[in-house]
Structure 1
Amino acid sequence: MTGPEAPVTQPNAVPSLLGVFAHPDDESLLAGGVLAQHAAAGARTAVVTATWTADTHRIPELAEALDVLGADAPRLLGYADARNPASAPGGAVRLVDAPLDEAIGRLVAHIRKVRPDIVIGHDALGQLTGHPDHRRAHQITLLAVEAAGLPHLYPDAGEPWQPAALYTATHSESGVGRLGPLLQGVGKTLLAVPDAYVTTSVDVSLWAAVKWAAICAHRSEAARPRPLPGLLARLPEPERNEIISTEHFTRLSPGPEPGDPHQLVA
């Protein structure tokens, strides 16, 4: 880990992680390295996916990717993708149209059940392409992480649990690197945060092969020309590894005790 945060040595105390992401494959692309890293160190890891329902082809792919990363089985909020009606054949509401209180409550229930030390999610920009589902997932995650620790909010969603920190996966303006031309080459937007917003950068090169295997498990996306898994699949391995071997985050501390020692481990 690099950046302004100093690593804290905690023998036998690797923090548990809960990822909250909009779509199947976001978890592998944005945080596959730290998920694999923490699982390998003995921590419990789990992922909540906001869109695509259990009766679609992408959920078995998600289950395979999570198994590769050493995480629990898929946990779903059950909403539809803003841009893909096939994501919810039963007619579920789109994530971007879901009542905010309902969506927060669903996520609070998962947080209280998993009881993670750290939650990882999307940044406010919605990652490099600004997908509306990414932005909505960010908003819901911010509110749910705080609400999960308050007993008077969502009392039917389980016993209160306050994660120590929320890390939002992000990309800085100077750290976009090869991703920039890769995305712009297929007509996608390019959004990045100022460098100062990145508080934690994690070298996950030791887990790059595992991360890539998890990305490849999302084979329906890897077979398409414009999604990032497909773009990465067409790159030479050294160039691809350069892109996926570092993960960047902004740490937010929602709990009542600033300076809590729980941090992503290097």
Structure 2
Amino acid sequence: MTQPTAAPSLLGVFAHPDDESLLAGGVLAQHAAAGARTAVVTATWTADSHRAPELAEALKILGADAPRLLGYADARNPASAPGGAVRLVDAPLDDAVGSLVAHIREVRPDIVIGHDALGQLTGHPDHRRAHQITLLAVEAAGLPHLYPDAGEPWQPAALYTATHSESGVGLLGPLLQSVGKTLLATPDAYVTTTVDVSPWAAVKWEAICAHSSEVARERPLPGLLARLPEAERHEIIRTESFTRLSLGPTPGDPHRLIA
């Protein structure tokens, strides 16, 4: 009898608390329910900020490990770092990459999930910076000569970047435009994986609501979603789209440079 394939372990790397729930909450909940280890690294908002306990509650709801915070400040919110930490967008690149490499090597995930190159639909600078750091860190994590003090090397099999296609924006587009936000969708061809997370939509929404300070505000997406009729909200959160990026050596890869 063929044994069922175990669900791959996941490590999400996101810029802010709530990004994990909004962009990949369904996939995180799905994998946790299948018995896989899931964890999330959050680049901004420090442990002594008011959003840290909200993040902890959201991850608990999703079945993920305790929060892992890089401890940088949000580019647009000084309250994100009461102790005066440097902003993520101003942090030395090598320091930020090394910090993330340490988490990758400790968790040893099969798959890393992060932001896309556009920084999602609104192009937030923290999202874009987190994408750049993640690209470098997932490759560096497998190379023993890079960041040798950050733990034993570990190479994830793939990086999936959460994204929104031009044809898949749907109700989310008008919702964001209603508060003056931009729409930076990716071409449809860039989306390699779309997951129907309807069975976990209720858990995903509960995790989003755990970020109560964002739900209470008018312009952030959790607040916008909270004011929608349930059917419209479900339509927006029931699918999650990603672009798969292969990592590490691929023996026999037919798509290689001509030597």
Structure 1 residue 36 and structure 2 residue 29: aligned?
yes
Kindly state the Cα deviation for residue 12 of structure 1 after the two structures are TM-superposed: 4.0
Q: What are structure 1's unaligned runs of at least 5 residues? A: 1-8, 261-266
Choose from 82, 86, 91 the match for 1:89.
Answer: 82
Work out the CA distance in 2 between the residues paired with 1:202 and 1:126: 20
Q: RMSD of the TM alignment (CA)? A: 1.3
1:215 corresponds, among 208, 213, 223, to: 208
Trace 1:50-129 onto structure 2 (pairs within 5 A): 50-129=43-122
Residues 182-197 of structure 1 correspond to what in structure 2 (within 5 A)? 182-197=175-190
Aligned to 1:203: 196
Tell me if 1:147 matches 2:172. Answer: no
Count of paired positions: 252
Counterparts in 2 of 1:181 and 1:100: CA distance versus 1, 3 Å: same
The alignment status of 1:49 with 2:42, answered yes or no, reads: yes
Higher relative contact order (CA 8 A, sep 6+): 1
Change (3 A) 1:239 1:10: farther
**Alignment map for 1:156-175 (pairs within 5 Å):** 156-175=149-168
Classify 1:258/1:88 alpha carbon distance in 2 versus 1 (closer, same or farther; 3 Å): farther
Matches within 5 A, 1:231-242: 231-242=224-235
TM-score for both structures, normalised by structure 1:
0.93
Deviation at 1:258, TM superposition (A): 6.9
Distance in 1 between the 2:59 and 2:46 partners? 16
Q: Cα offset for 1:16?
A: 0.1
Equivalent residue for 1:228, pick from 221, 224, 234: 221
CA distance in 2 between partners of 1:187 and 1:147 (Å): 38
1:138 partner SS? helix
Quote the residue 1:6 is aligned against: none
Q: Percent identity?
A: 90
Secondary structure of the residue aligned to 2:162 is strand
Listed as ranges, the gaps of 5+ residues in structure 2 are: 254-259
Give the ranges of 4+ consecutive aligned residues of structure 1 lying more than 2 Å apart after TM superposition.
Answer: 257-260
Secondary structure of the 1:92 match is: coil
Query: Is 1:246 aligned to 2:239, yes or no?
Result: yes
Match of 2:8 among 15, 18, 21: 15
